[in-house]
Homo-oligomer: A and B are copies of this chain.
């Protein structure tokens, strides 16, 4: 066919082939009023105009140095800030999920405290925080209900053996707030002493003074913020249930 790689590449044209649509979607989670919320945008264009969807879009071949950069760009466009944690969850592809044809999307999950995003989202962007449960009850664009459920499940699983839940809290926070966040994400109650013994405070948190509990009553609590790089830490023993990943 071709005599050399150079020769081959000269004649190669991607539009000679059947190619799928490729997109990136980001499930951006935060904790608001003690409940997990996800950021959604209302679609302004076809297809699925008018339905709520995850922030997402296409690779910009000029701007994005890799797929992760595409996800990061979408995140910053919608929240105004870089989340302390952004990871890929799964890539799904099939002919039915988008009416334009065979399509593939890489789903990312970002964790971010509510406070730094609030003003930007109110003032600048057509986006809104939805409680995850409420979002899943809507009729969402494409297969985004599935995608949210998968990201939610990844977060639940990782809450069992990582410190990721600290990244949805506004710093500084108390250990009690951190425990409540774990309980919300895991869906189970945890025992106070066990939680404090197991969570590696010295490794992962920095103490930044003291403050009163939310109610304004009771003993003052130590306040913490996450140390750098804590998203790479995994516990030897997991919280809560086991089995059935």
Contact = CB atoms under 8 A, between A and B. Distances in A.
Interface of A: 1-2, 4-5, 8-9, 12, 14-15, 17-22, 45-49, 58-59, 61, 65-67, 70, 88, 90-95, 99-102, 104, 106, 161-162, 232-238, 242-245
A101 B234 contact: no
B106 A94 contact: no
Nearest to A91: B91
A100 B19 contact: no
A237 B234 contact: no
State the main secondary structure of chain A at its contact with B: loop
Contact of A66 (B22, B47, B94): B94
Contacts of A245: 162, 232-234
19 contacts: A1-B45, A1-B46, A8-B47, A18-B61, A19-B22, A20-B59, A59-B102, A67-B104, A88-B91, A91-B91, A104-B106, A161-B238, A232-B244, A232-B245, A233-B245, A234-B238, A234-B243, A234-B244, A238-B238
A102 B67 CA distance: 10
Contacts of A21: 14, 19
Contacts of A243: 233-234
Q: Which 5 A-B pairs have the closest CB atoms?
A: A67-B93, A236-B242, A8-B46, A66-B94, A91-B91
